[in-house]
Amino acid sequence: MNRKLRMGMIGGGSDAFIGAIHRHAANLDGKIELVCGALSINKEIAISSGRSLFLAEDRIYSTYEEMLEKEAALPADKRMDFVTIVTPNFAHFAPAMKALDKGFNVVIEKPITLSLEEALELDKKVKETGLILCLTHTYTGYPMVKEAKSIIAEGKLGKIRKVYVEYRQGWLSRLSEREGNAGAAWRTDAKKSGKSGVMGDIGTHAFNLTEYITGLQVSELCANLNVVVDGRALDDDGAVLLRFSNGASGVLMATQVAAGEENNLVIRIYGENGGLEWHQHEPNSLLLKWYDKPMETLRAGSAYLSDLAKHNCRTPGGHPEGYLEAFANLYKNFTLALSARLNNTTAKDIVEFPSVAEGIRGMAFIENVVRSNDSNEKWVSYTI
C-alpha cells in the first residue's frame, strides 16, 4: 500500500474543541487525509464545518448513520479506512459499534464509553471483527512518559513502592455550565458524561498514566468525591487511595476547581533504588532521583533514551515537543499498526497505543471510585 490512510470523523465540527486537535495530530506526519465527516448533530454546522475543511460535498454527512452506511457502500479504493469519534461520552458507544459492524477501524476519545457495560460490549465487538481500535489517552504519547515506562520495565528503580499522581485544573471553579459553556454543560451532566464528573474527565487520564508507566494494576481503592461548586450536579473534585498488584500504594488526586491552575498533571513514582518525576507542563524533561547518587534530568531528543522513547521523538534535543506531538504519536502508531495490517505484515514491538483494554480499566476505575465513595466500607476491591 503506497498511499495515505483515509480518515472519517464523527463529531468535531466548528463548535467543538477536540476535533481540531485530532485533525492537527492526524496531519502531522502526512500519512492521513480526512475524506469525510458527520461533524455535528446540527445539520447546518455539519455542512459548514465540512465545507470549511474542503471535504467533497457528497461526503459531508448529516448523521453518523448516513456516513457509515454510504462509506461502506463505496469501492474499497474510495471509502475511508478508519473513523475518529470525538463526540461527548454518551455518543461514543453507538457510533463505534456501528463503525466496527461496517468494517471500519476506530479511533475514539476517552473515556471509551458512558459505562463499563458498554466498554465490555465494545471489547467483544473488536475481538469479533478483528479490527483495530485506538483510545486517545494523550499523555501516554509523550516521549518522556515512554522513557519512564522503559526505565521501570528495565528494573532500574527496583520494586515500585509508592505512586503519587495529581491532575489539577481550575476551569470549573465557577458554575460555567450555566453561563453558556457547552463543554462544561455536558461534562457536568450525568446523562452525557457518566457517573463521575472529574474522575471521568481527567481522573481517568491520571489513572491510565499510573498503570501505563508502572506496568502495575490497581487492585483496591478508597475514594472520596466532592461537589465544591454550589449547584453542580456532578463531582468536580476528588482523591483516591490506591493499592497495586505488587503491594505498592498510591494517591491519585483530580480537581477542576483549583482556581488558577491550567492543566497541571504531575506523576511521581518511587522504587527501592530511587524515583522519577514527570510534569506535563515541562514534558520534555524526566527527573530521576537516586538513593545514593545525584539527581539526573533526562531530556527528550537525546541519544541515550530507550528505543521506545526515541521512536516517539520528532525533533533533536532542545526543540520542545508538546501536546500536539504527543497526540500525533497516538495517530503515528495507530497508522503504523493499521498500515501493517493492510499490507499483511506485522508492526514492530515499539508500535503501541492505548486500546480497548485500557478503556475497560478506565471505565472500571470510574465505577469503583463511585462505589467506594458511596459505600461505608473503607476499601473496595477493584472489580471489572
Q: What is the pLDDT of residue 240?
A: 98
Inter-residue contact 83 to 131 (CB < 8 Å)? no
The reported pLDDT for the residue numbered 73 is 98
CB 120 within 8 A of CB 360: yes
Q: How far apart are CA 33 and CA 338, in angstroms?
A: 14
Is the confidence at residue 103, as pLDDT, over 80? yes
Task: Give the N- to C-terminal CA distance of the chain in Å, as an integer.
Answer: 40
6, 339 contact by CB (below 8 A): no
Domains and CATH numbers, the chain: 5-131 (3.40.50.720), 142-315+360-374 (3.30.360.10)
Q: ∠ CA 141-146-151 to the nearest 5 degrees?
A: 170
Within the chain, where are the H helices? 18-27, 43-52, 64-73, 93-101, 116-129, 143-153, 182-187, 190-193, 198, 204-214, 307-311, 323-342, 356-374
The pLDDT value given to residue 259 = 98
The four Cα atoms 308, 325, 138, 263 give a dihedral, to 10 degrees, of 120
Cell numbers at residue 346, please?
506485522
Task: State the Cα–Cα distance between residues 367 and 382, nearest whole angstrom.
Answer: 9
- The grid coordinates listed for 23 are 485533525
Percentage of the chain with pLDDT > 70? 100
Determine how many CB atoms are found less than 10 A away from the CB of residue 251. Answer: 14
> Comparing 104 with 16, which gets the higher pLDDT?
104
Query: Which tens digit of pLDDT belongs to each residue from 249-295?
Result: 999 999 999 999 999 999 999 999 999 999 999 999 999 999 999 99
Of 4, 52, 54, 50, give the one whose Cα is nearest residue 27: 4
- 207, 362 Cβ separation under 8 angstroms: yes
Mean pLDDT of the chain: 97
pLDDT tens track for 237-246: 999 999 999 9
Which pairs from 45-54 meet CB under 8 Å and 24+ separation? 45/13, 45/14, 45/15, 46/13, 48/13, 48/14, 49/12, 49/13, 49/14, 49/15, 52/14, 53/23
Q: What is the pLDDT of residue 5?
A: 98
pLDDT of residue 1: 72
Q: Alpha-carbon distance 114 to 194, whole Å?
A: 5
Residues 6+ apart with CB under 8 A from 305: 143, 147, 298, 313
- Residues 162, 240, 361, CA angle at the centre, nearest 5°? 85
pLDDT score recorded for residue 75: 97
pLDDT tens digits, one per residue of 146-192: 999 999 999 999 999 999 999 999 999 999 999 999 999 999 999 99
H-state helical runs in 130-272: 143-153, 182-187, 190-193, 198, 204-214
Pairing of strands 296-299, 285-290: antiparallel
Beta bridge partners of 380: 221
pTM of the model: 0.96
Maximum CA extent, the chain: 65
Between strands 249-255 and 160-168, the pairing is parallel
Band (pLDDT 50/70/90 cuts) for residue 2 is confident
What pLDDT is recorded for position 15? Answer: 84
For residue 359, the 8-state DSSP code is: H
